[in-house]
Amino acid sequence: MENVALVVGARGVIGTNLVEHLASLPDWQVIGLSRRGGVDVPGRVRHVAVDLLDPDDTRTQLSKLSDVTHVFYVAYQDRPTWAELVAPNLAMLVNVVDAIEPVAHGLRHVSLMQGYKVYGAHLGPFKTPAREDDPPHLPPEFNVDQQRFLEERQQGKAWTWSALRPSVVGGAALGNPMNLAVAIAVYASISKELGVPLRFPGKPGAYDALLEVTDAGLLAKATVWAATSPAAANQAFNITNGDLFRWSELWPRLAAWFGLEAAPPLQMSLQDVMADKEPLWKQMQAAHGLATTSFAEVSSWPFADFVFGWDYDFFADSSKSRRAGFHEYVETEQMFYDIFAELRRQRIIP
């Protein structure tokens, strides 16, 4: 049977890889939603530009998408505070479900992308390993509000929901506020250009904390698995690469990939030290014959500062997804090398 995926947030770190993965599967058609739209792949991927914060635009743009069978919600609106994230991120999900339910009579599943914010991981040291059934924490928390909305809306319906909880996601997409691997790649490339060794810029305690990340390709496979497996219906799953690391061990290896020495850590805000680097970035593009990617498109500096500030363990138990049937894993060190190599192949970095 042909499935029709509506990927909501198709141009994100997560959405880009999900669209690619779905388009590689034999029995899926993909419709991608974002404000900026994208390049269609005839017969497989169609992009629709829509502002999901606008309920009328959402209803109009989605009114003809009657063949959608699966909604994959991976959209995100960034805001400066945790409290401010709630209203726009809940509104976008509600607008999509309000618009698609009345027209897509064959709707079978709504998949929700979450993260460790459900566990309070962004607030400070949290219980590790975090488990899907850990007790909740005080609001505001948009991930929790989104899940509650889906749980309530699904009652008595023919469709099911699932929720995915990745750690920090590694992917090679551009123009995203939360892209750690791209931030490391550009930080390393600029360090190399300036002839300085690669220093871990995070909090001193973050260098030795135990953490994990989630490859965007692995996450895409898990997302489709959860959306199509009866054993995963109406549940949430932690999805991780399957290995743990400390920056103290990985950082020198990442430096070596760029042909750099790793010097001792030095805490600094990347947002501050990168603020004057746009002219240098342009010079590097000319000198190395790079693509003309804007500095803004590769600047996830506040997010990188945030991740490098975690001076506490940051990991979850992902055995629930394995028990339910998802058995893929990715080696984290290799994941970073693969993303860096892809950025080099696309001439984003030298």
The Cα–Cα gap between 114 and 93 comes to 12
Q: Site for ligand NAP (CB under 6 A): how many residues? A: 28
- x/- string (CB under 6 A) for ligand NAP, residues 153-192? -------------x-xx------xxx--------------
Between 171 and 265, name the residue whose CB sits nearer to ligand NAP. Answer: 171
CB of 303 to ligand NAP, least distance (A): 7
Q: Count of CB atoms within 10 A of residue 20's CB?
A: 17
- What is the identity of the amino acid at 11? R
Between 76 and 225, name the residue whose CB sits nearer to ligand NAP. Answer: 76
Between 115 and 217, name the residue whose CB sits nearer to ligand NAP. Answer: 115
| C-alpha torsion sign, points 223, 229, 233, 239 | negative
Only one of the segments 5-13, 60-68, 151-159, 284-292 lies at the binding site for ligand NAP (rule: CB under 6 A); that segment is: 5-13
**Backbone dihedral region of 224: left (phi > 0), alpha (psi from -120 to 50 degrees) or beta?**
alpha
CB-nearest residue to ligand NAP? 12
Residue 120 contacts ligand NAP per CB under 6 A: no
Residue 74 contacts ligand NAP per CB under 6 A: yes
- x/- string (CB under 6 A) for ligand NAP, residues 230-249? --------------------
CB of 1 to ligand NAP, least distance (A): 27
Give the residue carrying structure tokens 């895409």: 220
Residue 64 contacts ligand NAP per CB under 6 A: no
Residue 36 contacts ligand NAP per CB under 6 A: yes
- x/- string (CB under 6 A) for ligand NAP, residues 121-140? --------------------
Buried b (16+ CB within 10 A) or exposed e, 43-62: eebbbbebebbebebbbebb
Residue 34 contacts ligand NAP per CB under 6 A: yes
Among 50, 182, 224, 339, binds ligand NAP (CB under 6 A): 50
Residue 265 contacts ligand NAP per CB under 6 A: no
Residue 217 contacts ligand NAP per CB under 6 A: no
Residue 13 contacts ligand NAP per CB under 6 A: yes
- Per CB under 6 A, contacts with ligand NAP among 75-94 are 75-77, 92
CB of 70 to ligand NAP, least distance (A): 17
Between 47 and 192, name the residue whose CB sits nearer to ligand NAP. Answer: 47
Between 108 and 117, name the residue whose CB sits nearer to ligand NAP. Answer: 117
The rounded radius of gyration (Å) of the Cα atoms in the chain is: 20
Residues that bind ligand NAP (CB under 6 A): 9-15, 33-36, 50-53, 74-77, 92, 113, 115, 166, 168-169, 176-178
